[in-house]
Amino acid sequence: MAAKEELYAKVTPRRQRQNRPSTIKHGSTLDVLLSMGFPKTRALKALVSTGGKNVQAACDWLFSHLDDPFLDDPLPREYVLYLRPSGPLLQQLSHFWKQSRLSCGKNKAHNIFPHITLCQFFVCADEKVEALSDALQSTVAKWKGQIPMPLPLELYTSSSFIGLFVEEQMAEVLKSFAADFATEAESKADVHVEPHKKQLHVTLAYHFNDSHLPLLEKLAKNINVASGCDWLAVLLSRDIRFANHETLQVMYPYVPQNDDELELLQGDFIFMSSVEQSTASEGWVYGTSLGTGLSGLLPENYVSRADESDTWVVHGSHSLLNCASPSTSGSPVGGLLFDGQLNDSLLDSLMDPSSLAGLCPPMQVSRPTGSPSLSRMRLFVCRHGERMDVVFGKHWVTQCFDCKGRYIRSNLNMPSSLPARNGGHRDYDKDCPITVFGSTQARLVGEALLESHTAVDFVYCSPSLRCIQTAQNILQGLQQETKTKIRVEPGLFEWTKWVSGTCLPTWIPPAELAAANLSVDTTYRPHVPVSKLSVSESYDTYISRSFQVTREILAECKNQGNTVLIVAHASSLEACTRQLQGLSPQNSKDFVQVVRKIPYLGFCACEELGETGVWQLVDPPILPLTHGPNHSFNWREMLMQD
């Protein structure tokens, strides 16, 4: 144990250390890399980092890590042995995973796919990994067919934990299997493996909100533990340096603007530690790229949270049930592996891993096409579309209006015309419109709702022009712009602390919006008139206002329609739904972190549980809308040569 603690102490310092001599003779893959001129330590590191998949994968890894400061550091990876379910049981566990995540949000169990832990994490030097994989294969061959299936599992719940525990007698059998692997690993690879001594189980949920327990328990009871299943003994590894880091995934590419910034490639993973964030300013994080090993600052809204196991590497997966040839290292495991790493988007794959010849493509998530029961109310909350001042800068008004106040667009993404304002065009400074692409985004959402056979009975909207235009385009996509009117509700405006200056925006009155051919209900009397809003309101006031107006809207619509759509701001998705579920408001700091990550046309759905007055977040009837940055193109600067 002292040696292991000493090893962990070496994780933080970023300096090169001397190479260790290799003690194991490797096969042709390593020989090919050595013949190409790669140093042995680098070749071994590339092989274990890609699961020993093939020469091409190892070469790609090496070339992408040329500037990695840890490239020549012999620090080993951490390994663990899990039992992974497959077949119908995996399908049921995957369904539980999705439903619990959608209904109650992510809890600690979601960081790793469904599994039974057979041993503690242990370290293994790169040159010993091939022998370690052989040790697992030998152990599985010895035990093949001796473990009865399905494993007897029993549901257990407590206030903070839900899991499926292996029946005691069978658990002892599995512990004997793990002990044999430990013996083989020490004999063949000279590594110490500590078999799991606690009760063997599949964790379903833990560290969740107390109010979510009844729903999680109900979902867990629907799992048929007697379902057919083959269990796979899977050897996995992770980078020891990032064991306690948060894992993020890159959504959009980013080109660094400064020397201390990190280049982002879409699909890459970023490791982030809270202790390293002191150098990052608001809206930025400091992290390390899985793809390159480089570290630096990156914009927070270009990444999203991922699961810890998304970056793990598979070094062997072997069936305990059948006698087919074991799957090779780097091959798909239960449909979860992609390019040597676990891919949670493939969680529903039920194919026999020993029969997979190549990589599994991502499966499409099916969406409901029918309408819900008429007795169940639904609330949709949607953020507005892309706004002009964010795309073209806060001085866009000065650039697009001439001295006589006439609007002239200077980019195809600017609207061809804008509504006239009694207060003059300077009112657009605080109340900007959406771009042409913003209108397109909104129509796409409306069309998707139409395709899913989802009708909207009532539309409520923040008084901001960008929100009203977004609602109008959603209704156009839904083909409801002539029969459904937008109710402009000032109580849905965002936290007024975020408004610059000493006064609120001057919004276009409903009558003038209607005159500009926007489908606005001019007879609607708002629950919170503009006169009740104040500049720089407290966070508690904003949260209370949002919750109160949402409740009054739902009460107003009850028994008159089934589905209510609120089109407002990024903050509205959290502020209008959290307390509706019976949850306490977050603190302002956590609230801001959530809001920053909500994109244009971010969309969430809430459903009332019968007539109970209890609401829960559910899967929206439409797919998410993803889009990336598109910089301005000037052909003169790019293409004209001196």
Reported as a single tens digit per residue, the pLDDT across 207-226 is 888 888 999 999 999 998 88
Query: What is the average per-residue pLDDT within 353-371?
Result: 33
Mean per-residue pLDDT over the chain, rounded: 84
Q: How many CB atoms lie within 10 A of CB 327?
A: 23
- Least confident range of 28-37, 241-250, 531-540: 28-37
The CA-based diameter of the chain, rounded to the nearest angstrom, is 87
Dihedral, CA of residue 414, residue 420, residue 424 and residue 425, to nearest 10? 0
- The 10s digit of each residue's pLDDT in 251-263 is 888 988 888 899 9
Of residues 115, 383, 443, 487, which has the active-site annotation? 383
> Which contacts (CB < 8 Å, 24+ apart) does range 207-210 have?
207/107, 207/108, 207/160, 208/104, 208/107, 208/160, 209/104, 209/105, 209/583, 210/159
pLDDT at site 393:
87
**Are 230 and 89 in contact, with CB atoms under 8 Å apart?**
no
Query: What does each C-alpha distance from 353 to 139, 177, 270, 324, 340 come to in angstroms?
Result: 19, 21, 28, 10, 14
Token duo for residue 208: 């969740």
Q: What is d(CA 464, CA 488) in angstroms, rounded to the nearest whole number?
A: 9
- CA dihedral in degrees (618, 621, 626, 627; nearest 10)? -130
Q: Of the residues 84, 384, 527, 578, which is catalytic?
A: 384
Is 585:564 a contact under the CB 8 Å cutoff?
Answer: no
Active-site hit among 65, 110, 238, 569 = 569
Average pLDDT over residues 8-35: 53
pLDDT score for 500: 81
Residue 367 has pLDDT above 70, yes or no: no
Nearest Cα to 339, choosing from 359, 364, 365? 359
- pLDDT, position 325: 36
Q: What is the percent of the chain where pLDDT is above 70?
A: 86
Quick one: average pLDDT of 370-386? 75
Strands 116-117 and 77-85: antiparallel
Please confirm, yes or no, whether 384 is among the known catalytic residues.
Answer: yes
What's the rounded mean pLDDT across residues 348-352?
31
> What pTM did the predictor assign?
0.53
Nearest Cα to 16, choosing from 51, 41, 48? 41
Least confident of 18-32, 323-337, 347-361, 536-550: 347-361
Q: Is 250 helix (H, G, I), strand (E, B) or coil?
A: strand
**Other CB atoms within 10 Å distance of the CB of residue 501:** 9
pLDDT digits (tens, 9 = 90+) for 492-519: 999 999 988 889 999 999 999 999 999 9
Round to whole Å and give the CA distance between 409 and 416. Answer: 7
- Residue 520 main-chain phi, psi, to 5 deg: -105, 140
Domains of the chain: 30-58 (no CATH), 75-240 (3.90.1140.10), 244-307 (2.30.30.40), 376-386+431-616 (3.40.50.1240)
Give the per-residue pLDDT at 642. 52
566 within 8 A of 550, measured Cβ to Cβ: yes
94: burial class by Cβ within 10 Å (0-12, 13-18, 19+)? Answer: buried
State the pLDDT at residue 7: 52
Angle of helix 168-189 relative to helix 129-143, nearest 10 degrees, comes to 140
Q: What whole-number distance in Å separates Cα of residue 303 and Cα of residue 248?
A: 6
Tell me what percent of the residues of the chain surpass a pLDDT of 90: 57
Which positions make up the binding site for substrate?
466
pLDDT band with cut points at 50, 70 and 90 for residue 411:
very high
Lowest mean pLDDT among 326-330, 447-451, 533-537: 326-330
* pLDDT higher than threshold 70 for residue 341: no
Judge contact between 316 and 133, C-beta under 8 A: yes
* Gap between the Cα atoms of 300 and 285, Å rounded: 6
Residues pairing with 541 in the sheet? none
pLDDT of residue 322: 53
Please report, in range form, the residues annotated as the binding site.
466
Q: How confident is the model at residue 15 (pLDDT cuts 50, 70, 90)?
A: very low
For range 337-355, the mean pLDDT: 34
